[in-house]
Structure 1
Amino acid sequence: MATLSTTTSPTTARPATPSPRPKRPGGFTLARTLRYAALLFFLLIVLIPVYVLLVTSFKGPGDASPARAWSLPSTWTLDNWRTAADTLTPAIWRTLQMVIPSAIIAALLGSINGFVLSRWSFRGANIVFTLILFGMFIPYQAVIIPLNELVLDLDLPSGVPTLILLHVVFGIPITTLIFRNYYQTVPHELVEAARIDGAGMLRTYWSVILPISIPSFVVVLIWQFTSAWNDFLFAVFFSSSQNGPVTLALNNLANGALLQDYGVSMAGALFASLPTLLVYIVLGRYFVGGLMSGSVKS
């Protein structure tokens, strides 16, 4: 009896292809290196004036000169900071009395306007919104003379009260725009549910909209605070060195002597910028988050 034998051909084993190594996320490629080099370059451009300001503020009168702007102080002194603090502290308190009320009032009015224009529609709402935004594109220099005549006719007191009114009026367009864009991302169901429950416009705003408006309020308050703090044009026309803000006092400090004292001027500039710098350090991340919260429509 013949036996059938089956032969099996040996299978050729294929070499295993090595899996590609995962790229290390922290590896430096050419594009990444160029990007970091560009960032470092722009950072140096920003920090160079800060370096000159800082080192000059600690130099004595004979040491602070344009020829020695880049060199470190031969003798470190705090006299410039003491002089700047004694001169600018009253003006800083007046500026705080101006910027805090103007920022809060402009934010509240912009919030109400933004809610009405975005969620409580009426005939001609878009036209009203366009007219409000038109105030953003009018240069202050174009209206400063008629505005000065209006303030004189209204017999408004010079100094902080007039500056508060002006910053509130000129801050309403940008605050209305920010809040309107933010409220358009709020779900319609929230407003409709409040209407079904019998809430009117003010009740809906106070109980439903206002509690969820913290991100936009942070953005608006920071914006209004810094713009009012850094204003110089209104300060020149509607205040004096006795009742004006810190920008006017800083200008008088820099130009008050026949011989320019660069150390005191630099120390005064840094001292006057400390409140706005502190605001950005504390609330900077909330500023970016508040801007982004109204950028995507739900």
Structure 2
Amino acid sequence: MTSRVDPGRRRFSPARLLIYAVLILAAAYYLLPLYVMLVTSFKTLEQISNGSLLSLPSPFTTQGWLDAWGTACTGVDCSGLHRYFWNSVAFTLPAVLISTGVGALNGYILTKWRFRGSELFFGLLLVGTFVPFQMFLLPMAWTLGRIGLANSIAGLILVHSVYGIAFTTLFCRNYYVNVPDELVKAARVDGAGFFTIFWRIILPLSVPILMVSLIWQFTQIWNDFLFGIVFTSGSQHPITVALNNLVNTSSTGIKRYNVDMAAAMITALPTFIVYIIAGRYFVRGLTAGAVKG
């Protein structure tokens, strides 16, 4: 008579328990800096100086977050992040949408509407992904000055959109290779045009790779420091530059670690939210174009 293995015993076998224990320890080790930042942001300066790094806030205070956000600040010299947070929102969202939209359109053209020299065109775009962005600083600065967009949010939108198109085109082109050509041919026979096919057929199939492009671009653009500090100044700075200025300056000469940690959390929060909302599409979109068939 065949014996059956108890499902509960299989589920909690020593090997499986060891794997979970290792994973939990690795996750705890990885999340420890985040924990330290979070609890420190809610402590007073006295507790930070005299207490333990891992201890919970006692008393619990949100003053560090209020000072980091700068709700009570007015004027150009305000040290809070609220003004610069909205600067980053103002150029990040348009740049992400423009670069992702143009990249999707380029990928569609390069796979389903090939033209003479399309492979050369794609090769040149591919080269753009390997060029260090430091090499774009002088040409971009000259261009922004010539067209009147220097030191402006619109200038940052243009810079990040142009620089991101090479990456989003690469993502979308590799994804659209796996979309059957018969779908496009059938739509042409039915009388659908270039944009109708793109809007009605290609885009509905593109959710995973569009999410990859959106997450990639949002993370790169929001966290960018170099373009922000080179192409803007003063009140036009993005939040990353403002965070650097806040952490490295103090009007009292006292290092306010609670404010610094809260400011870092505020800066990182939008990318964290984006990954939570759209992260499940990320791996699916990255692997969709890895194997054909």
Q: Compute the TM-score of the two structures, normalised by the length of structure 2.
A: 0.87
Contact 1:88 1:250 in 2 (8 A): yes
Q: Does 1:272 align with 2:267?
A: yes
Mapped to 1, the partners of 2:249 and 2:50 lie a distance apart of 19
Contact 1:95 1:229 in 2 (8 A): yes
1:6 match: none
Mapped to 1, the partners of 2:50 and 2:175 lie a distance apart of 48
1:261 to 256, 262, 282: 256
**Which runs of 4 or more aligned residues in structure 1 lie more than 4 Å from their structure 2 counterparts after TM superposition?**
none
Mapped to 2, the partners of 1:256 and 1:161 lie a distance apart of 28
Q: Does 1:221 align with 2:214?
A: yes
Displacement of 1:286 in angstroms is 2.8
2:241 maps to a residue whose letter is L
1:247 to 240, 252, 264: 240
1:56 match: 40
1:5 match: none
1:206 match: 199
2:171 match: 178
Unaligned runs of 5+ in 2: 71-79
Contact 1:80 1:263 in 2 (8 A): yes
2:12 to 27, 33, 37: 27
Contact 1:104 1:221 in 2 (8 A): yes
Q: Does 1:161 align with 2:154?
A: yes
Q: Deviations over 1:49-75 (max 9, x none)?
A: 011101110111222249742333342
Alignment of 1:1-298 (within 5 A): 18-22=1-5, 24=7, 25-30=10-15, 32-65=16-49, 68-86=52-70, 87-257=80-250, 258-298=253-293
- Tell me the C-alpha RMSD between the 2 structures: 2.1
Mapped to 1, the partners of 2:266 and 2:197 lie a distance apart of 43
Contact 2:65 2:263 in 1 (8 A): yes
Contact 1:106 1:171 in 2 (8 A): yes
Unaligned runs of 5+ in 1: 1-17
Contact 2:40 2:258 in 1 (8 A): yes
Mapped to 1, the partners of 2:200 and 2:90 lie a distance apart of 29
Contact 1:53 1:266 in 2 (8 A): yes
> Which has the larger displacement, 190-199 or 127-136?
190-199
Q: Deviations over 1:168-211 (max 9, x none)?
A: 11111111111112211111111101222333433322332223
Paired residues, number:
280
Judging changes above 3 Å, is the alpha-carbon distance between structure 1 residues 270 and 66 closer, same or farther for their aligned structure 2 residues? farther
Judging changes above 3 Å, is the alpha-carbon distance between structure 1 residues 49 and 241 closer, same or farther for their aligned structure 2 residues? farther
Contact 1:241 1:249 in 2 (8 A): no
Contact 1:118 1:180 in 2 (8 A): yes
Displacement of 1:132 in angstroms is 0.4
1:28 maps to a residue whose letter is S
Mapped to 2, the partners of 1:118 and 1:23 lie a distance apart of 52
Judging changes above 3 Å, is the alpha-carbon distance between structure 1 residues 66 and 146 closer, same or farther for their aligned structure 2 residues? farther
Displacement of 1:23 in angstroms is 6.1
Mapped to 1, the partners of 2:177 and 2:49 lie a distance apart of 54
Larger Rg: 1
1:50 maps to a residue whose letter is L
Q: Deviations over 1:96-137 (max 9, x none)?
A: 111110011111100110001111122322221121011111
